[in-house]
Amino acid sequence: MDRPAAEEKVFEFIFLCKLCDRLHEQISNGADRCHLECGGPRKRMAFHSYKGPLAETWMATHCFVCGNAADGGTIRCEDPRLPRITNHRRDLGVCRRHTSTLIQELRPGETVISNPPPPGEPPAT
């Protein structure tokens, strides 16, 4: 796959995945999707295979879906494939727009959503 076509294909993924070096390698080699056993809260994981420029603090303060500020809260994901030094946990930020969708899909006890703004309150600036 040529470079422009590969870059166009990457834009179909969520924000965090778009910045993953491993996804770019796979798409450049002709894959139509990411073939790593990796994913976020929807897959009961915490992007344990992510390799790229984003720091842990950035992941916790920005929405992993779109990259906007995490004014909807933080999802604490437990994933045994994460390093032991992190207690196998990673905090992922979520914006208000994506919080309501994710809350409906998550099962109690699997993840914890912290600091969501009260309903009807405007996003933090």
Tell me, yes or no, whether 125 lies in a domain. Answer: no
Query: What are the distances in angstroms from CA 23 to CA 3, 14, 68, 86, 113?
Result: 13, 11, 21, 23, 27
- The residue ranges of DSSP E strands in the chain, in sequence order, are 73-78, 89-94, 111-114
Query: What is the side-by-side strand order in the sheet with 73-78?
Result: 89-94, 73-78, 111-114
Gyration radius of the chain over CA positions: 15
Q: Is residue 122 part of a domain?
A: no
pLDDT exceeds 60 at position 43: yes
Q: In the numeric block, which tokens belong to residue 14?
A: 């969520």
Distance CA 108, CA 96 (A): 19
Q: What is the separation, in whole angstroms, between the first and last Cα of the chain?
A: 41
Domain that holds residue 49: 3-114
The reply to whether 49 falls in a domain is yes
% the chain with pLDDT above 90: 18
Nearest Cα residue to 59 out of 105, 118, 19, 12: 19
How many folded domains does the chain comprise? 1
Higher pLDDT, 117 or 34: 34
Contact present, 93 and 62 (Cβ < 8 Å): yes
Tens-place pLDDT, residues 50-106 = 999 999 889 999 999 999 999 888 888 888 888 887 778 888 898 988 887 776 666
Residue 52 falls within a domain, yes or no?
A: yes
In this prediction, residue 89 carries a pLDDT of 83
